[in-house]
Chains A and B, each alone.
Chain A
Amino acid sequence: MTGSLSAQNLSVRYETPQGAVNALRHVDIEASPGEVIGIVGESGCGKSTLVTALANLLPANARVEGSIVYNGTDLVGLDAHRQRMLRGDEIALVGQDPMTAFNPVLTIGDQLVDFQHRRRDLSRGQKKERIAAMLARVGIADAARRMASYPHELSGGMRQRVAIAAALLTDPGLLIADEPTTALDVTMEAQIIHLLRELRREFNGIIIVVSHHLGVIAELCDRVYVMYAGEVVEEGGVDAIFHDARHPYTQALLACDPARFHDRLERLPTIPGTLPSLLAPPAGCVYASRCDRAFAPCLTVLPPKVTVSTRHAARCHAVAA
């Protein structure tokens, strides 16, 4: 089944002994079936918290506000049982580390059979047939033998293929890939990106790809959300973001991507300064302390969402001015 996704004013806090960590603040996300959404940002920007919230897998000390409406149902405040019923059925997650994603003492086949537990209409044999077909689909040769393998007997790239196959086996309407290539080497990364590009043509649900890697996002996505310190600072079509970025942070991020340098540089560019504390986020713009275009209101007033063009917007006083 497919449906559209809409997160409105979503905030997530983690209650800790040091105080509340505001991992996510007033985030809006929209996605319709068939779209591939990219979420990009550096480590600690809240992108993992965002997808963990979407997949309903937040730890017990997380406090969620706002709404996540998927296919007409608000996931926030749903009881534990109904949340669980959505996982492995409507929503599937491909994790970032294929090395540890599978149970080490159970065979791949055994786990993939279990993961189809929603399909009560299928016998164990039919589930195995589906697994074999899906493993072949994601490019694993000798699928029958691989089903009897233990995870550690597979390479990292192969395990990530299995993880993708596992997610697809549940026929999800929302597929979340959290840093799907981060743990892989460059060749494997290219192969997995290639696989995901192929799959997006056949898949008619929503795909959300999370990455700190701009290349991965550019290759795979239709639309991009740029996150910084728990907030979405800019959103837009992939072309708009990569060629017409308006937010100073997005511009700085693009300027720091080594893949985009034309010449060899003496020193790699960096963004000066550090992330603001999520314990006490600044009153104004989260990026103000590192921004070279910051002026007085940036420090005190929350920047407005400035629409640049259709579906391209940035939260920035400088863009508004």
Chain B
Amino acid sequence: MSSVAEVGASYSGRQRFPALRALLADPITSIALVLVVGFLVTAAFAPWLAPYSPTRIDVLHKLQPPSMEHWFGTDHLGRDLLSRVIHGARTALMIAMVSVAIAGAVGLLLGLIAGYGPRWLDAILVLTFDSLNSLPMIMFALAIITVLGAGTGTLILVITMTSFPSYARLIRAQTLALKNSDYILAERLLDAGPFRIIFIHLLPNVVGPLIILLSMDIPVVIMVEAGLSFLGLGVRPPTPSWGSILYDGYTSIRSAPFMVIFGGLPLVLATLGFTFLGEGLRDYLDPRMRAGRPA
């Protein structure tokens, strides 16, 4: 029966395995890529793209519905909503990329230490990762914000603290698996130092899965930033953030519903874009997902 099973598995394997062409041939991934590139360009060139300053107050023209001068309308202080949304993209993507990069670096380092270090250190680190992981993330975030006060720096710290444990766990697991593999054993018998092993063998092996994990976390971070800013616990006003635009809109939801619509739409599109691009990337990069389960 084994022959039948194997043949069946490899057959369905090819259908699911997308080559790079297939990655872009998938219409959803392509749309996602367009969205992501669009947001990245918007974030990078925000000052040039925005028709007005995002913080210019004009109380005489507050809560104006969308018009030719103000495509998305104006908020409760008369600020141009389109300009705020464009600069909000900059805030969201900057915070997402910075905190995911820091968290990735911290996770990589601590994961390597846990996997490679002495056993007592490993035990302490694993307990730390587990404790942080077994906390309801929002409670932990709110506790940190209480202590440090709201702001961009706190936000990045919160996101780093709540997301690095899963990266560290991944790196540690990979490190342990590799450390006990035959060829690393052979290297160690040849007196290879830990740095050689880490840089030549370990990093190339762990970077792929780590990047997948990081890319899949970007939409989550965008969401957390917007959520906390919505609660007034994220970036400080008047810095434009999709979350605070949503909050401003929420307070005038009856008189100016266009504000929540235009504040929420970019957030929805950005999380969808990054999520589907991450999914496509994972299917493409992760060989385990690619082949399905080994027969």
Contact = CB atoms under 8 A, between A and B. Distances in A.
Contacts, number: 38
Contact of B7 (A21, A96, A178): A21
Interface in B215-241: none
B184 to A, nearest CB: 33
A224 to B, nearest CB: 21
A44 B3 contact: yes
Interface string A110-148: 000000000000000000000000000000000000000
Interface stretch (A12-20, A63-71, A284-292): A12-20
B3 A23 contact: yes
Contacts of B12: 61
Interface residues of A, number: 19
A48 interface: yes
Contacts of A52: 1, 4
Interface string A1-33: 000000000000011111001010000000000
Interface string B2-15: 01100110111110
A263 B12 CA distance: 49
Contacts of A96: 1
Contacts of B1: 48, 52, 96, 178
Interface size class of B (residues with CB under 8 A): 10 to 19
A52 B4 CA distance: 9
A59 interface: yes
A16 B4 CA distance: 11
Contact of B11 (A15, A48, A58): A15
Name the prevailing secondary structure of the B interface residues. Answer: helix
B4 A17 contact: no
Nearest to A59: B8
Contact of B10 (A17, A43, A48, A178): A17
Contacts of A59: 4, 7-8
A17 B11 contact: yes
A16 B10 CA distance: 7
Interface string A36-54: 0000000110001100100
Most central of B3, B4, B10 by chain A CB within 10 Å: B4
Nearest to B8: A59
Nearest to B17: A17
Contacts of A17: 10-11, 13-14
Nearest to A44: B3
Contacts of B10: 16-18
B14 to A, nearest CB: 4
Contacts of B14: 17
Interface in B1-54: 1, 3-4, 7-8, 10-14
| Residue among B7, B11, B13, B14 with max Cβ neighbours from chain A (10 Å) | B7
A24 B212 CA distance: 43
A58 B14 CA distance: 19
A49 B4 contact: yes
B5 to A, nearest CB: 8
Nearest to A95: B1
Contacts of B13: 17
A61 B3 contact: no
A48 B3 CA distance: 9
A17 B4 CA distance: 14
B7 A48 contact: no
Contacts of A44: 3
Interface string A242-262: 000000000000000000000
Contacts of B4: 14, 23, 48-49, 52, 58-59, 62
Nearest to B1: A48
Nearest to B15: A17
Given A14-B7, A21-B7, A96-B1, 9 more contacts: A15-B11, A17-B10, A17-B13, A48-B3, A52-B1, A58-B4, A59-B8, A60-B8, A62-B4
Interface of B: 1, 3-4, 7-8, 10-14
Top 5 A-B pairs, shortest CB-CB distance:
A59-B8, A17-B14, A14-B7, A48-B1, A61-B11
